[in-house]
A and B are shown apart, each in its own frame.
Chain A
């Protein structure tokens, strides 16, 4: 309840006014400061103050006024407590579960790629996007599912909207899992290619996880923390073994692989991991990755706050402004112009449809009091966004020359010609007062104990260099190479966790769908069905991974936009379902909270999708790319095999992109029709809410409040 004490009210008003003013001031410094570099502290300040305001006012508005959360109303965990799926759990433990499930490599990688636009557009979207869109989606879906016995997003779409919407939700979930895994696998492959140190360390995480699994199941059943401590210690040892291999003349050659071999290795790993019992590989790896993730992110936050690096990237990259060399979306890292592609590339740090899968079905079954929802749904996403801000800082505090040399896919074939790389990059960054020399490239590669850093696209390696530089300054006198490879290990570790968990979740969905055709295929314990289901999932994402690898420039450019669009497609499904639910609750005006982000997503994804299909620029437009491949073949500049692969892959991407675009429009239209029918009284309100349809204040009260 709001404080009645007038003195406290005044103090609280002054405090929040000061926080709001600080937010505005920090944004102003970021946007307007010219001539000298902006310090990272301003980004951190803008982020933290915005989060505080968003949490205190917006999340509270949604919790109290819209959903009228009330601890007197028992949650599903309390009503249906069965000790298995439904378990009332304390607030911070649920927060831990929720955050561990939503946080992964996405918010780390997206901002690195979006840094090519300058730090400002991405940072604004990460901060404003999370407060107005991402955290809202997570909280609203969490509350809606909590009021419906913890039903999943697909179930809610089927029951609250209609069966077609349910089917669309299910199919888009499978679609996004395929693209998500392919993209993350590509990030790992690019980070480990030609790097024996990284490859050995990551390979060793598999036996470490197996050992932990056997420990927790047979040697000392259930001693999870003990096994995790052992696992983390072995992980550190693996890092040093990797270093030893790196400098060993024979072993180093044995563990040096190209992209193709690594891609096949990841595919084989994904298949085996999805079919193995959970306790053996997935559960222990999940513990390892959660502990390492929390530890490293805390370390990075500490490092950034301690070092407070200056950002060397311009606020807005002038090459993308009108008349600039990349004004038509021909930037070297990811294709497209700032609008819409900056908002596509950031993905998970600002809004992630995938979170709706965690916020429905899983987390709500553990919440013990309704009032815990904002601290879990909203604040959990704020934390994810903060991770994205840290990643943006790590990328933009690097020398821009190093950043572009690492991330420009077109430079990959010139990794051996550092003079040419420097010359190309200097044409981009020279005007900003930076110069890249071949010595800087060899020195950085030597510093991080890597053979080359040129063309290490995908974001993971750039983040690792940025993090290593920050750690180097925070903990003076420590080895940069060790920090770099630690950062690579940390990213690859939880990407592999996402790959096996994602393949497994996808396998369940595929089996559910296949089970409708022939029921034995739906049995989760029948091993032929397990093999077939896993194989289908792995073949799906494996295809996109291999297609990306076949691209001589590394394929990040092709896969990133599809990944962003698919993630936002799922967010659009979630927000549409949420809007229908709000309307059925009688909160028509409050539906603005979901309609606002939904409209934005609709504009961004449809524009991006359209440009991806029809842009006349061959680096962006798929059809233009197909025409260019045909022309190149006719001119004899590329071979028959490469041309036909490129053309086929681009057609597949085009079909997928068009499907995503149509599906978004269809789901929005279905939801709008449902709302229209309910609002005009043509249809009785049918909702599966476990509480009365309108539990909270009336429309009139809402208006006054």
Chain B
């Protein structure tokens, strides 16, 4: 029970932070025939998008 909870929490944390964003991107786009971004290029764009979000008081 606790183990399961920790596993879910960890995967949510990875999803929130973008730690697994590249893996998700690969899983989604692999096999569509078009060229895939490398890890480095992917994260450059990823951080750019993330930085556009407003931050409040």
- Residues of A at under 8 Å CB distance from B? 83-85, 89-90, 92-93, 96-97, 101-107, 180, 184, 216-218, 221-225, 228, 277-279, 282-283, 286-287, 347-348, 352, 354-355, 357-358, 362, 497-498, 501-502, 504-505, 508, 567
Contacts and interface: CB of A to CB of B under 8 A. Distances in A.
Given A83-B25, A222-B19, A287-B17, A501 B54 contact: yes
A-B pairs, top 9 by smallest CB distance, nearest first, are A106-B57, A278-B51, A501-B55, A279-B47, A283-B47, A96-B16, A222-B43, A354-B56, A224-B17
A104 B43 contact: no
Nearest to A220: B39
A228 B43 CA distance: 15
B19 A355 contact: no
Contacts of A505: 52, 54-55
B7 interface: no
28 contacts: A83-B28, A93-B15, A96-B12, A97-B53, A101-B56, A102-B56, A104-B55, A105-B57, A106-B56, A217-B47, A221-B39, A221-B40, A221-B42, A221-B43, A222-B21, A222-B43, A228-B17, A278-B48, A279-B51, A282-B51, A283-B50, A286-B50, A286-B55, A357-B54, A362-B54, A498-B56, A504-B51, A505-B52
B53 A567 contact: no
A629 B3 CA distance: 67
Nearest to A213: B47
Contacts, number: 112
A310 B37 CA distance: 57
Q: Among B16, B39, B40, find the residue whose CB has the most chain A CB atoms closer than 10 A.
A: B16
Contacts of B4: none
Interface in B1-45: 12-19, 21-22, 25, 28-29, 39-40, 42-45
A340 B35 CA distance: 60
Given A92-B12, A105-B57, A502-B54, 9 more contacts: A96-B12, A104-B57, A180-B57, A184-B57, A217-B40, A222-B22, A222-B39, A277-B48, A355-B56
A101 B28 CA distance: 27
B5 to A, nearest CB: 12
B18 A222 contact: yes
Given A83-B25, A84-B49, A567-B57, A93 B42 contact: no
Contacts of B52: 278, 505, 508
A464 B48 CA distance: 33
A286 B52 CA distance: 12
A180 B49 CA distance: 23
Nearest to B57: A106
A362 B21 contact: no
A105 B45 CA distance: 28
